[in-house]
Structure 1
Amino acid sequence: MTFQINVAPSGHTFTCDIDDTVLAAGLHAGIGLPYGCKNGACGSCKGKVLSGSFEQKPHQARALSDAEKADGFALFCCVVPTSNLDIAVREVGGSSDYPVRKMPSRVASLTKVTQDVAILTLQLPANEALAYRAGQYIEFLLRDGKRRSYSIANAPSLDQPLELHIRHMPGGLFTEQVFSTMKERDILRFEGPHGSFFLREESHKPIILLASGTGFAPVKALVEHLQHLESPRPVTLYWGGRRPSDLYMHALCEEWAATLPHFRYVPVISDAQPDDHWSGRTGYVHAAVMQDQADLSGYQVYACGAPIMVDSARADYVGKCGLPEDEFYADAFTSEADLHQF
């Protein structure tokens, strides 16, 4: 059995099988529904069900609160329809421009830049290329049907091996392999590109890039894409970590600040120790933005990293600093632990 899904305000329609999710069916139909993790943890696919019945599959409470449910909101990555549905969601232009492909790849290099962060590069087969937007991610296809998602850290214009930044999660199905047994020339399969976190090129607004930890990966790709476009838009990157070593590409960011005419870099450390000899900004990275710019009404913000940072930034920037809600773009990283909390 299939049901019709009507999307407001665009007027787009698509069909969804009874055992499929609204998000999966919409993406398959080429509809630009917003999404991030696709597993009920990040909240990026949130929208309103205007009419119809459905089953809301398990998800994390932080992604969809009981109050939001009562107000008619749902996570479309977890919604299975039981009738025709009318839904309201802000569609993302350009998110389905490039086909999702399953591809083999070979480990070109694996470099541990800190004790718990590795930079992995992947070489695609000869005469093959992955078309993607800077900021999107791929999913590694693991045994037993499991998947793990990582943002691509370089812009497609560079024509380089795909670069991924991977933080070690002790006991993690994929990251344990990366940090213990993986070696150059190993073969990995992935699917992509995925995600609606990418630059809105039609805007001329100044940009704030907000990253924590390895959330820097897609932000790096955005900066490289802005370089490629020779964009005149002012860009400020705020990158936060607990200790200075967490800013594992600090030198590259300083180089950008020294050479790019419209670029500013603000590193922020939340738990500096005396032996770090840190003399820069301290505290929470999202709060540093508010200290520097109390009025965000004329900005776009692209935030990536820990869900608590992304959620705090969204709430404070929209609620306190006047940022239009539709100018906050986010990719909240979910860990392997997140996948087993519901």
Structure 2
Amino acid sequence: MSHSVTVSGQDGAFPGAPDRSVLESALRANRWLPHACSQGTCGTCKIRVLCGEVDHGRPDETILSEAERASGLTLACQATPRTDLTVAPLNDVPPDGPRHPLRDHAGTVLELADIARCTRRLVVELDEPMEFSAGQYAELIVPGSVVARQYSMANPPSESRRLEFHIKRVDGGLATEGWIFGSLRPGDRIGLRGPLGQFALVRPQEEPAILVGGGTGLAPLKSIVRHALSNDLVPSIDLYHGGRGQADLYDVDFFRALEAADPRFRYHPVLSEEQWDGATGVVTDAVLDDFASCKGRSAYLCGPPAMVTAAVKALKRRRMAPRLIFKEEFTVGSAPPVMSPV
């Protein structure tokens, strides 16, 4: 039996299944609640329960403390309704842009190829299109388990049935070593759900954009680049991609060709541990070398937390407005993307 869930300040209620998180029920009803990782590791989806009771699940004490639970707070991605609910998000400003309902999907693996060190490209043809915004992610369901892992779409939203993912191998990872780098083959059927996340560029903007990615943090940035240029959303884009060595870079020919074809786009690969004929050092230092001032520009950052933190500090030193800096952090394991304005 489902319960009624009302979000304070939003019209109407939606059904909240007792075996689904409040967040999942909201997104399936195309209702907005702030979220990022969807796995209980970032705290972005904290909500206040104004009326009713929830099962909090097993939240990490460092993310949602016992005192916070006692005060009426819960994680929307972990909590399930026990009764009818009225809740209020702590962040009540919805994202600027279209919202797409969360849906279950199935598809066939078209391509599975090694593209860089410990990195594979996975291309899936869906049975039905998935509407999403450039920069969002989907959850791939590991066969024979209830485990889901989060990977950003690298293709633009115009390719709504053919999804491209860039996947880094994780030692001992159930989804990577045990499946994507193990038993998965072209022609296999897979299940997934999406879209998820708030990291996206969807509206035309006056500010030139600086995109900084580390490793497979390139995936959502590739989607943003293709979508933004095709729809004339930004005056120009500078894309920085960092890796330890040349073996970590991929899609170099694609971005070189795009740079040659479109004067609005510039591509900057950077290596931190190998000398070559391109830029070397920390990728964020390369941005500082190229821009004496970042005032009047925007930034989209995606990669390991240390890289994202360094990029935020660097851009602020170059006078970029914090409201124009958006970040998505990839971590090992359950790998939740985390995006928020700085």
Q: TM-score range, shorter-chain basis?
A: 0.7 to 0.9
Equivalent residue, structure 1, for 2:138: 138
Question: CA offsets per residue over residues 228-251 of structure 1, 9 Å max, x none?
Answer: 214451110011111122111122
Distance 1:102 1:323 in 2: 39
| 1:113 alignment partner, SS class | strand
Determine if the alignment matches structure 1 residue 328 to structure 2 residue 325: yes
Question: CA offsets per residue over residues 39-73 of structure 1, 9 Å max, x none?
Answer: 23346x26786999997963496x799xxx9xx99
Equivalent residue, structure 2, for 1:161: 162
Distance 1:326 1:80 in 2: 33
Q: Structure 1 residues 57 and 157 mapped into 2: Cα distance closer, same or farther (>3 Å)? A: same
Moved more, 189-198 or 159-168: 159-168
Equivalent residue, structure 1, for 2:340: none
Q: CA deviation at 1:216?
A: 0.7
Q: Structure 1 residues 189 and 84 mapped into 2: Cα distance closer, same or farther (>3 Å)? A: closer
Distance 1:12 1:188 in 2: 36
Contact kept, 8 Å, 2:214 with 2:302, in 1: the verdict is yes
Moved more, 79-88 or 146-155: 79-88
AA at the equivalent of 1:166: I
Equivalent residue, structure 2, for 1:223: 225
Pairing 1:244-283 to 2, within 5 Å after superposition: 244-272=246-274, 277-283=275-281
Question: CA offsets per residue over residues 167-221 of structure 1, 9 Å max, x none?
Answer: 1112111112121221111111111111211113132211111111011111111
> What TM-score results when the alignment is normalised by the length of structure 2?
0.79
Question: CA offsets per residue over residues 104-126 of structure 1, 9 Å max, x none?
Answer: 1111111112341111111223x
Equivalent residue, structure 2, for 1:93: 96
Sequence identity of aligned pairs in percent? 31
| 2:294 alignment partner, SS class | coil
Q: CA deviation at 1:34?
A: 3.7
Question: CA offsets per residue over residues 317-340 of structure 1, 9 Å max, x none?
Answer: 34x33333332222222322668x
Q: Structure 1 residues 251 and 316 mapped into 2: Cα distance closer, same or farther (>3 Å)? A: same
Equivalent residue, structure 1, for 2:105: 103
| 1:266 alignment partner, SS class | strand
Equivalent residue, structure 1, for 2:27: 27
Distance 1:50 1:130 in 2: 31
Choose which of 303, 306, 312 in structure 1 pairs with 2:304.
306
Moved more, 51-60 or 256-265: 51-60
Distance 1:300 1:47 in 2: 27
Q: CA deviation at 1:16?
A: 9.3
**Across the two proteins, how many residue pairs are aligned to each other?**
323
Equivalent residue, structure 2, for 1:297: 295
Question: CA offsets per residue over residues 77-101 of structure 1, 9 Å max, x none?
Answer: 45789996554413213352x2222
Equivalent residue, structure 1, for 2:241: 239
Q: Structure 1 residues 122 and 137 mapped into 2: Cα distance closer, same or farther (>3 Å)? A: same
AA at the equivalent of 2:250: Y
Distance 1:180 1:195 in 2: 28
Equivalent residue, structure 1, for 2:129: 129
Contact kept, 8 Å, 1:47 with 1:76, in 2: the verdict is yes
AA at the equivalent of 2:96: G
| 2:149 alignment partner, SS class | strand
AA at the equivalent of 2:164: E
AA at the equivalent of 1:262: R
Q: Structure 1 residues 186 and 87 mapped into 2: Cα distance closer, same or farther (>3 Å)? A: closer
Distance 1:328 1:23 in 2: 25
Higher helix share: 1
Equivalent residue, structure 1, for 2:339: none
| 2:116 alignment partner, SS class | coil
Distance 1:184 1:249 in 2: 21
Equivalent residue, structure 1, for 2:283: 285
RMSD (CA atoms) = 3.6
Distance 1:158 1:303 in 2: 23
Q: Structure 1 residues 188 and 215 mapped into 2: Cα distance closer, same or farther (>3 Å)? A: same
Q: Structure 1 residues 47 and 295 mapped into 2: Cα distance closer, same or farther (>3 Å)? A: farther
| 2:139 alignment partner, SS class | strand
> What TM-score results when the alignment is normalised by the length of structure 1?
0.79
Q: Structure 1 residues 171 and 247 mapped into 2: Cα distance closer, same or farther (>3 Å)? A: same
| 1:157 alignment partner, SS class | coil
